[in-house]
A and B are shown apart, each in its own frame.
Chain A
């Protein structure tokens, strides 16, 4: 009944996990039946042919997709990734098989109505195959033909209040955690900042002029639910300056077993009685907590805001009141030089929606100016930082070096002063010097 025989793919279905092959077969049947009687705008057997070409790729151990091509709808340099098959006669359903990137809502808050609209559109004008969500965090609609692109974009922008996301050498679809909408740990309104920067940098998002891709991600606290520290060229991570707020009564209740630690997580088995010494104090990475005479104290100067103690006892410990965010730069996935985590560029910056986040935008634009000018083609920000040095970035962005920029003492203790930074420059009176210092 299937259009193509797929013994190699069938084998993938025999494993213990749910298989994408089963999902695709299910979608192929659904399209063939077309119970809603849609006037399908792309070949009915697109999914059948996708399975067919995938089987062939497994057989050959080679891809049958050509690389690149059409990039978007009119005026956009991204948001659509052109894909063409190199066996269009054998698999006409996937001769064109373009991907559409769609900007996901902030914090991924959906209404079922919206999801239905999106799926209906994609059943009609695309393959029906979605990826919720891609690695960058956006909605990925997989597989349509060139004539459908403008139609899809029209429908989204006119009837769904929906924009495309980023692809290619531009600002990629920014992504944020749910933040203050639901989370008590959030040190700033991630959704507001994410939305604000998305709107401010529309040109960067839709018209590629960067050396390569650039990602923003927003985490309300160092728990990093969207993993900004590992995945974004520029991560915005919430934090606080003052002290962790301690509710002494609640601490006692945790110790006494009246409140379950970690909000009741790890409930699958009995881990024994909560041991504050072992599970909180002993795990504080900077050793800055003490529990003596039934009293918890924190030496906040040494706290690195790792979130561990707050996660363990959320009803007893709360983030400080003087909140803001840290900006880290340069995280990226492997390809060149291996994966890299973000490096701290701005330890603390105020988050001020009232002045339209000027302090943050200043940092963003100074980093872009440097990277756009000095970055090589296809060089991520993290690679440029490595190639030219963190110090060069500080110079280019006009950010003063601070102790937090030092990763650890002693590994690179030599700082080279420039003549203009030294009082009196390099000039000296050699005779005066020789009076006290013999050759």
Chain B
């Protein structure tokens, strides 16, 4: 899969869910790409690097989201 295609799939799928959810587990993303985790990771790393996705963490668990989405980003003025 091309990076661009993977990116499109992820962005589209996450936008669709934005009404109910702004943070996603890694395996939600590998599920969207329909890939094994280790393979999906290469694409997802790149998307973070390119600023298409951003990390969120509770400290113990990490999640991914589209930058600036979710209520917390606004609340902390970090968006």
Q: Which residues of A contact B (CB under 8 A)?
A: 66-72, 75, 77-78, 81-84, 96, 99, 146, 167-170, 203, 207-213, 368-369, 372-373, 377-378
Contacts and interface: CB of A to CB of B under 8 A. Distances in A.
A210 B58 CA distance: 14
A99 B60 CA distance: 12
B78 A70 contact: yes
A212 B78 contact: no
Contacts of A82: 57, 59, 76
A149 B72 CA distance: 19
B27 A213 contact: no
B49 to A, nearest CB: 7
Nearest to B76: A84
A350 to B, nearest CB: 26
A369 B38 contact: yes
Nearest to B59: A81
Nearest to B25: A377
15 contacts: A67-B58, A67-B59, A69-B56, A70-B76, A71-B55, A77-B48, A82-B76, A84-B76, A168-B58, A170-B62, A369-B38, A372-B27, A372-B36, A377-B25, A378-B61
Given A77-B48, A168-B61, A210-B26, A68 B72 contact: yes
A68 B44 contact: no
Interface string B2-28: 000000000000000000000001110
A66 to B, nearest CB: 8
Given A146-B78, A211-B27, A373-B37, A99 B59 contact: yes
A75 B62 contact: no
B62 A169 contact: yes
B59 A167 contact: yes
A146 B79 CA distance: 12
A78 B62 contact: yes
Nearest to B45: A207
Contacts of A72: 55, 57
Interface string B27-69: 1000000001110110011001100000111111110000000
Contact of A209 (B37, B56, B78): B37
B75 to A, nearest CB: 8
Given A78-B62, A146-B78, A208-B26, A68 B37 contact: no
A180 to B, nearest CB: 33
A84 B26 CA distance: 24
A377 B26 CA distance: 9
Instruction: Count chain B CB atoms within 10 A of each CB in A77, A81, A96 and give the residue with the most.
Output: A77
B44 A71 contact: no
Contacts of B75: 66, 84
The 6 closest A-B pairs by CB, nearest first: A168-B62, A208-B62, A68-B58, A71-B57, A81-B59, A372-B37
B57 A208 contact: yes
Contacts of A168: 55, 57-62
Instruction: Count chain B CB atoms within 10 A of each CB in A70, A213, A368 and give the residue with the most.
Output: A70
Nearest to B73: A69
Contacts of B62: 71, 77-78, 168-170, 208
A200 B75 CA distance: 38
A372 B76 CA distance: 32
Contacts of A170: 62
Contacts of A99: 59
Contact of A68 (B26, B49, B59): B59
Nearest to A82: B57
Contacts of B25: 211, 377
A169 B56 contact: no
Contacts of A208: 26, 55, 57, 62
Contacts of B57: 68-69, 71-72, 77-78, 81-82, 167-169, 208
Nearest to A210: B26
A177 B58 CA distance: 29
A211 B37 CA distance: 10
A205 to B, nearest CB: 12
